[in-house]
Each structure stands twice: as C-alpha cells, then as structure tokens.
Amino acid sequence: MKICVVVLTYKSDLYDHFDRIRRKYLETKDVDYYFLYNGTDKSLSNPKEHNLNYYSYLRHYESPHYPVMWDKFMAFISETAGKYDYVIRVNSSTFVNVDSIIQKIKQLNNREHLYMGHFNGSLCRECRSNCVDVDAEEVGDYVSNAFYDKDVWINFTNYSYAHGGCIVFSNATLEKLFELSKTFKHNPEARMRSDDILIGLGLREVLKIPLTYLERYYLSGLTTLPSEKNLSQIVEEALTYPQIRIRNSNRDLIDKNIWNIIERKLQL
C-alpha cells in the first residue's frame, strides 16, 4: 500500500516551526510526503527536499474566499495520478498520526472509493457525539450556501463535508474528483468556495461518495498557556487520536509549545 502525506502550507515563521517538526516525524514513517507551497519564489519548489510550489494568480496566501488550496491540491493530483493508493491531505495547523490513519484505512480496505475526514457540520444524530465511522447519511442537519452549476443543482440541506484539516482519499476517489474539478474550474461561484466545501460538494453531492468519519482531538481555543505538566498530559492523550487540530489565540506562544511537546513526546 503506497501512501503520500500532502501538507498544504506556506512560508512563515509560524508554519515553518510546525513543518520542521512534522518533517522529522514523517521521515520516520514509510510514506512519501510533500509540502505544497504557493508563491512566486521558485526556490520553494525542490522535490528532493519534499517541497513543491504551485503559483496561483489569485493570491499568494491562503484565503477562505479564494481557493488557492484547492488549486494547488488539484495541481498535485494531476501530476501524481495513479502513483499512490491513498493520499492524506493535511494543513499546517493539524498534526496527523500516520500509523492511526493507516490502521483506519486497513479497516476499510474493501472500499474502492474512500473519502475520510472529520465532519464539518452536525454530529451523528443518534448520539450527538463523536462516533467512529459514521457515514454522511447519518449526519444531522447542516445548511450551507448552494450554487448553480450548468449540469447540476446542489441542495445543501442535511449536508456535511470533511474539515480541511485532514482528509484521506483513495486513488479512485481522487481520479473522480480531478475529473470533476474541470467542471468547477470555470464556474465563478464554485471559485468562491473554500476548498473543503468544494471537495465535499463534489464528492458527496455530485459523485455520491459518502464521507467516513475520522476522529479528531481539538487542541484549540486556549487563551493562556497551561502548565508544562498539564499541557504534556493533554498532548499525550491527543497523540492517541488520528489527528490533532492545533489553533489557539496566541499561536506563537501556545501552538509552538504544543508542537515542541509533540516533538519531545515522539523523540524526534
């Protein structure tokens, strides 16, 4: 089973700090990995260093209103078509537990089309809590904006999509998503959607590929830095999850400290 971890990132002191630790971690795993940048600096592209750069004419940085992340992910798919059995797409604010995700993939290896992530929307209507392997049809109400495409009218009622922090795709699913991206490319309303919404729209509503739930630990919303002992205990528990979302108010202080503890815990 050949797997690639694709980190959608950009150059900044903060993200360089996260990515330095992530690089050391990924080097210990039997997976390919790349960091996808977006900018005019051609030196950012260095495949031998696991760096790729895709320039978007829209913006030189990430924005929820301009799908830079969508564009560079589609560019990556077009150049690596058929090379990997699974691609784990992650942003720089999320730590992924590669071993845990591979175990989850193996549990679902009879599914040709795999689209796996953490729900952005309501949770399972049966228990209203985090559930393992809840398909999209079981998700409660979530309403987002719809848009018109010449071939299909999308109704977002009872709609959910995978949060952009971490999404896992089988090759078969990526191939279909890439074909669909050609339809979205010249649609101005589609171009105004953030990338995770556009992925969810395409896979669930158009291609009818259901989302499988992937657990997440939230290390977000902290306004002050906990004690070293408390934060260490929190990170130790978080590392048992497939993914950790790390985004707090003082990112230079809190988030960097969390990543530093991850580095020490994993002995990187």
Q: What domains, with CATH codes, occur in the chain?
A: 3-216 (3.90.550)
Residue 124 pLDDT: 32
Percent of the chain with pLDDT over 70: 79
Residue 84 pLDDT > 70: yes
Whole-prediction pTM:
0.83
Percent of the chain with pLDDT over 90: 44
Residue 120 pLDDT: 62
On the CB side of 161, how many CA atoms lie within 13 Å of its CA?
22
Residue 202 pLDDT: 82
Nearest 5°: the CA angle 78, 52, 39 is 105
Strand order in the sheet with 243-247: 94-96, 243-247, 217-220
Q: How confident is the model at residue 54 (pLDDT cuts 50, 70, 90)?
A: confident
